[in-house]
Structure 1
Amino acid sequence: MDDLAGFLRTRRSRVDPAAVGIPTDSRRRVQGLRREEVAHLSGVSVDYYVRLEQGRARQPSEQVLDALAGVLGLDGTEREHLYRLARQRRRRAKAPGGRLRPELLRVLGLVADAPALIMDHRLDALAGNRLAGLLFGRPMPGLNVARHLFLEEAEHGLYADWDECTMDVVGHLRLAVGEFPDDPGLASLIGELAMGSERFRRLWARADVRARTHGRKAYRHPLVGLLELHQENFALPNESGRELVVLSAAPDSPSADALRLLAALGSDSAEDRSTARARAQG
């Protein structure tokens, strides 16, 4: 699904030669750096670098990876991804599985005023509180955020920042395949997204990686309108690849009022369903 060779090729194509001191003219036909230029700047032989990009080289050393990361201008997230891809041949992480601990579900239930859910590396919602279900308009588990974003909400319905969200999700999935390259469920999801979404295919080909641990999330809810929320991702100890995600509104903000209204509307709907069932039974 992902490999060191492909990542090096995409990063090389994005480096501006002038930024690393290489003069260019109108006759240059290569986008980014040439292989031999990367090799020279990083202090490795051209033959060795070519073999790296062809997937034929042995485990590169930390010194080589550091040099390549510097030449290619990788940020912290991209550097970690590069090192993880280089280690795949030695140690391949096992995809997490199994049921959630009851204690985690109890903690999730304590979050009453903000949508909260537990997600895995595939962006499957393993559990969610009541407000999370009201926000996404569906029960959890059962929601996959990537599938929901690209295949079910592709007309920009719920997600106010749809374009940015798509880049975040693809960047996350790129990191996930670097960490769990042997996960068949993840491979199947990526294949489904690629078959169903041109936007996903274009972003996936760029091989960008993103680690989103906190930040703004905006939603256009059909019942309460715009919700401007802050997302915090909390990695769960001893639960590899799983996170507690909480979407909170600033105190005394319109979004806080909208969340309270959403909770109230959800209660009204639940009461209406209960009344309807009672009438049917009577």
Structure 2
Amino acid sequence: MDRAELADFLRRRREALRPDDVGLPPGQRRRTSGLRREEVATLSGMSTDYYTRLEQERGPRPSEQMLAAIARGLRLTLDERDHLFRLAGHTAPARVSRAGHVSPPLMRVLDRLHDTPAQVMSNLGETLVQNRQAEALLGDETRHRGPARSAVYRWFTDPAEQRIYPEPDRPRHARFLVASLRAASATDRRAVELARLLTAKSAEFAKLWEAHEVAVPFERRKTIVHPSLGDIALDCQLLLTDDLAQLLLVFTATPGTEDAEKLQLLSVVGPELL
């Protein structure tokens, strides 16, 4: 671990960011160029003290999970992320087999969505980052670990996962999840491993997997069953990276409807409503 180079790299990347790059108001009386340390710490989901110690060459060697969080908070490109890992004495993650790094262009769009639910997901259905409104609508989907990080895995192994959709909508959504995993398996070995695991655990998944569907259209009009607000009819829009490895999912409601009012309530109250 090269503490001096790591500290210098973190400081320079922090100073290169502006508040509007990450969806923060510019504010007044900024004594330093770029973001403040506490802002980067918040964006990275860690304490200000921990991040500050890294910049001051005093902290312990950060784990891979911490480095991935810092890379996301600083909006690093893949090359910059790999450099960060190497400075900290870790091997840079393989770009195909690891989906913890969020595409910077998708993050820049997400940063600017303050009043509607949005989240970035991998091609395996892993929620990589959510805004506050998405967490209020769907719950904290980033908390899962292991195979359960994938919405596909949770759908076929946890009955509670399916309650977010009305019962008549569930069969089609199951087909879409399996078809998406099948498409991902052509380029991502992790999708093949996940399919093998699910085939052993779920007869329903095994049957759908055998159908070999890869072209079930995404349902852009969805009804989400919220535990406190009931049914919310939403339009869902997708923004994909060029390699189709990640997508930004944005939920909106028709203005002037009861559904729009419910979304507005989620924006005000946030995850506490759950």
TM-score range with shorter-chain normalisation?
0.5 to 0.7
2:248 counterpart (227, 244, 252): 244
State how far apart, in whole Å, the 2-side matches of 1:141 and 1:112 are: 21
Question: How has the CA–CA distance of structure 1 residues 101 and 215 changed in structure 2, closer, same or farther, with 3 Å as cutoff?
Answer: closer
Per the alignment, residue 109 of structure 2 pairs with 107
State how far apart, in whole Å, the 1-side matches of 2:184 and 2:214 are: 9
1:178 counterpart (186, 190, 194): 186
How high is the TM-score relative to the length of structure 1? 0.54
Contact 2:135 2:271 in 1 (8 A): no
Amino acid at match of 1:229: L
Displacement over 3 Å in runs of 4+? 93-98, 101-104, 153-156, 211-214, 267-270
Question: How has the CA–CA distance of structure 1 residues 169 and 100 changed in structure 2, closer, same or farther, with 3 Å as cutoff?
Answer: same
Please tell me whether residue 190 in structure 1 is matched to residue 192 in structure 2.
no
Structure 1 residue 225 displacement after superposition: 0.5
Gap runs ≥5 in structure 1: 1-92, 271-282
Query: In structure 2, the residue corresponding to 1:149 is in which secondary structure?
Result: helix
Amino acid at match of 1:133: E
Please tell me whether residue 205 in structure 1 is matched to residue 210 in structure 2.
yes
Per the alignment, residue 133 of structure 2 pairs with 131
Contact 1:249 1:255 in 2 (8 A): yes
1:159 counterpart (165, 171, 175): 165
Q: Which has the larger radius of gyration?
A: 1
- Identity, % of aligned positions: 27
Contact 2:224 2:232 in 1 (8 A): yes
How high is the TM-score relative to the length of structure 2? 0.56
State how far apart, in whole Å, the 1-side matches of 2:172 and 2:114 are: 28
For the aligned residue pairs, the C-alpha RMSD in angstroms reads 2.7
Structure 1 residue 164 displacement after superposition: 1.2
Contact 1:128 1:141 in 2 (8 A): no
What is the 5 A alignment of 1:29-40? none
Amino acid at match of 2:111: G
Q: Deviations over 1:74-106 (max 9, x none)?
A: xxxxxxxxxxxxxxxxxxx95564622555434
